[in-house]
Chain A
Amino acid sequence: MTATVGFQLTRLHLASRRAAYCLLLIVACAVALRIALHWITGTGTASLELPLVIEAGVSAAIGVTTRSPFGESERITGRWLPFLRLGTALALTAASIGVLAAGSASAHLFDGTLGMLRDTGGFIGISLLTAALVGGTLAWTGPLAYLAITVPTLTKAWTTPWLWADRPPHDRGAAICAAIVFIAGITAITIRGARDPRHE
């Protein structure tokens, strides 16, 4: 495969996954994060909750990009598909972390950039796993469900590392759990791809 063909293939793949829309939403989320960090002050629960909600939004958008509009035909004929899926997911993950870090630059992010990296990575992992299980179009339900569990427990004394967002940014167990979920999500989406619901 020549470089031109490879570039064309990548471009078409990204277009079919609506990666540009996703990037726009990620930038919008970063702007929202910047506004939120300007608005919230101190160390109240809101300074933890608002960034988490925005990170969940970013991961939900990335989950939607795993949906294939071509389904079976693409899966059978697309020899490079696993690599394209892996590349897309990694690129969007990197973009989201970079853009969110830029959005929170010079503002007080309660858990710091390290915490944001861990939480966003974990959320994206959940989103990709949900996409592999129920389809890309409903991938957002996974991060939202995790968020619904995490936000009310932020002020509780839950210590399980699987609720990594509730743990301090330097908590090794929480970071390992988030990394495991992210790797599992990336692996599932690379090898299997998002499930194609028949009715969509």
Chain B
Amino acid sequence: MSWMLPLLVALFGVLTYRQSMALPALWSVRTGPFQHDHALPEFAPFAAGIAAWMGSRNGRRDTTELVAVTARSRWTSLLTTWAATTIWALLGYLACVAVLYGVTAGQVTWGAPPLWPVAVGATAVVAFCALGFGAGTALPGWFTAPMAAVATFLVLVVGQVALQHNSTYALLSLISSTAYSTPDSGNFYQYLPDLPIAQIMLLGGFALTVLAGLGLPRNSGGAWARRAAAVLTLSGLAAVGTSCYLVGTAQVTAEGVVIPDLHDAASDQPVRYTAVCSHSAAIPVCLHPAYRAYLPEVTAALAPVLSQVAGLPGAPASVDQSAAYINSLPGSGSRQPLGMETITGKPPELDIPLGTDQPGQVSTSDFTSQVRMGATVVIIAALIEPQQGARHGLAHVSLAQQAIAAAIFQVVGVSLDALPEAPQPGTAAYTAAQRFASLPAATRHQWLAAHLTALKHGQISLKELP
């Protein structure tokens, strides 16, 4: 196994490390590729293949009987060989994870590294080593190692397919921990350990069953050893069955997968944090401390629209960050972005979600325009027609409301394309919007402060606009 490590480290560097480092410096985001796409497909098939190779060694060399008469029992010698292989594989895996986590720790501004995915990955390496070793021992041959490796790869891919087929038991798939955690896990709400615990139980159960099963044959050791092996085999099978039962009761919630029998109610508490705020815009703009690096861009994105509406009735008095993602319905295996800025509370507060499309992944100008557009749409909706809202289009609002909405969009530099059914050039509403937008900022603000309530109730006609 040791001479396979350079290949595995190279694969980890080219795929997982490279992709992780290209993502924003957030624990939940940086560890995504490590959990999902790469680390296990890199390590598990090779670990299983090499373990099968080591397990079939005596059989391939026709030395099984020779080894059987040594001082140690056959079971002991097999477990020793398995342990040697597994320790090398684990060392490689953990070393790669340590490098990834170490570099990330130096870049993130808040939070702690999620350790449950590492525990699941390490247990998976141990389990696949055990399964490969068992296959090699049972079917010693030249083709066993490659077939064990390919079968492992197949298991990982099939788990992914099962997730797409909405199976509850697909939660046991090793990539499901990513599918059912979000970039907000650990930032806004706790990383739920329920599913990782069930996965570790399953993988540990498989490993225990196979390794203990090696001690069951008559020539494996003494009577006591074989009885112990039988008990351990049953324990492993019980762990596998229990994990399947537990996952069968799982519920996918907004914060992740909840397994009632494993769930700790303390995990439901939102994560406490002190927001970081900027006061350079018309109203305070606050973000989660993990997103501290993006505060200047977010403030710059919101400043134009906030300067237009600050102090108006119904306009937000502060900006705060909200969770960006929510898990979809049970079994669908995908995340849905909340994707909606909202204005709630008294005094009104604008909550903005920041997804993973942050500077570094998209250009700063794209990021700025996305944030500005989302905030402008919801603010205008709150100002001119809370019941229908600009978010749903302007078809059901008065022409005057359409004109004011279009004018503010134009002033803050957001394309009218973002506004469904916006006034078209040549129409009276469009001309009024142009006229209103060309007024000095103070005049616009003054007029809005005086007439916004009447405008909101549809009591102002297009001709009455300045």
Contacts and interface: CB of A to CB of B under 8 A. Distances in A.
Contacts of B143: 18, 21-22, 25, 61, 64
Contact of B37 (A22, A40, A46, A152): A152
B103 interface: no
Interface string A162-200: 000000000000000000000000000000000000001
A53 B15 contact: no
Contacts, number: 93
Contact of B153 (A45, A46, A147, A153): A147
B281 interface: no
Interface in B24-81: 33, 37-38, 41-42, 45-46, 49, 53, 60
A60 interface: yes
Contact of A152 (B15, B60, B150, B164): B15
A110 interface: no
Interface string A67-78: 100000000000
Nearest to B10: A145
A67 to B, nearest CB: 6
B146 A53 contact: no
Interface of B: 4, 7, 11, 14-15, 33, 37-38, 41-42, 45-46, 49, 53, 60, 141-143, 145-147, 149-150, 153-154, 157-158, 160-161, 164
Given A149-B11, A149-B14, 10 more contacts: A57-B147, A64-B143, A64-B146, A138-B53, A139-B146, A140-B145, A144-B150, A148-B41, A151-B41, A200-B60
B461 to A, nearest CB: 52
Binding site secondary structure of chain A: helix
A141 B164 contact: no
Given A148-B15, A149-B14, A152-B38, A140 B146 contact: yes
5 contacts: A18-B142, A57-B146, A61-B146, A63-B146, A140-B145
Nearest to A142: B7
A28 B110 CA distance: 51
B157 A148 contact: no
Nearest to A154: B37
Nearest to B153: A53
Contacts of B53: 137-138
Contact of B4 (A49, A53, A67, A141): A141
